[in-house]
Structure 1
């Protein structure tokens, strides 16, 4: 666990200020703001980018829909090495990371996955206080609640050069009570026309 220097207060009691884990939200979206996983066909460079985003992550916080979309598909790719070289690298990295999935209906999960039944914001807040690396949040349905609770520290949004006209919006109208101001930390432009933007909270 990472700590700052002790802070002395008037009561002569010394407190240790704990540095909380960073949470990062990563998602593909179209030019018109839809985030269905079928909007694009990532090339090798983009797959390697997604693999690289997990270098500093040791826990993924899923909603049920995306969890079931990712598993067991990528487990099978990693086991059989049935994808491209870049896909295999992504699969191997993904399945090595422990997972939490929030679901009221999921009956069971593998040994690397913990199921949480309710109160995702409360659960994520507790996880942020535990020792470890970054937590990657992978859920569109829980995003408004987690933003409102102040629990998302970074956004990594990959914009695909496509207009799809329908599907799941990243955020529905009225889902946030207040706007969230962000600061652009980095931008990567890929030959495919995709653009990855990395934002942090101000």
Structure 2
């Protein structure tokens, strides 16, 4: 059975917004390395549209640092599933699903393969409630946002999920990567 990993950048006060942080070359190497064990990306529409076509353009144009290009190349090569009611068209190795993301993810998890990376805040409570997330990789940025989308809204989980710390990385720019796994 495949592992499902939830990955997200967040502010110190718990807001998820890709524009808050200032990724360094060191962090981009970390993100690129994370993708080496991933063979499927599972996105919501908003995250998919934030990531693409931006990273596809970086891969095509070779416009970025060496770490950004490595990350872009890996991201573009990985198969993607996008959950969306409104998205009409996607490019390349991307599939759109319209309904029941938890059932779809459960089916994908049972297939042979590497890690499935889930990068969507909107579906997180439902996927957690269904017991589908095996680990969390959060990169905490040294900023207080004060507004935006929280990682989880109050009351969005049916029960407390206890985790164990697997790894901590501290970056020179003040960001901290936390890797947690579900307790066994």
Query: TM-score with structure 2 length normalisation?
Result: 0.98
Residue correspondences, number: 183
Determine which of 111, 115, 118 is the counterpart of 1:137: 118
Residues 35 and 71 in structure 2, CA contact (< 8 A), matched pair in contact too: no
CA distance in 2, matches of 1:105, 1:172: 24
Q: Give 4+ residue runs of structure 1 displaced > 6 Å after superposition.
A: none
- The answer to whether residue 85 in structure 2 is matched with residue 92 in structure 1 is no
Q: 1:115 maps to which residue?
A: 96
Q: 1:65 maps to which residue?
A: 46
- Structure 2 stretches lacking a partner, 5+ long: none
CA distance in 2, matches of 1:174, 1:88: 39
- Structure 1 stretches lacking a partner, 5+ long: 1-19
* Greater C-alpha Rg: 1
Determine which of 170, 180, 194 is the counterpart of 2:161: 180
Greater RCO (CA < 8 Å, at least 6 residues apart): 2
**How far off its partner does 1:43 sit?**
0.4
CA distance in 1, matches of 2:161, 2:110: 23
Determine which of 155, 165, 173 is the counterpart of 1:192: 173
**How far off its partner does 1:197 sit?**
0.5
**How far off its partner does 1:111 sit?**
2.9
**How far off its partner does 1:108 sit?**
1.2
User: Alpha-carbon deviations, 1:36-81, whole Å to 9, x = none?
Assistant: 1111110000011011111110000000000011111110111001
- The answer to whether residue 45 in structure 2 is matched with residue 74 in structure 1 is no
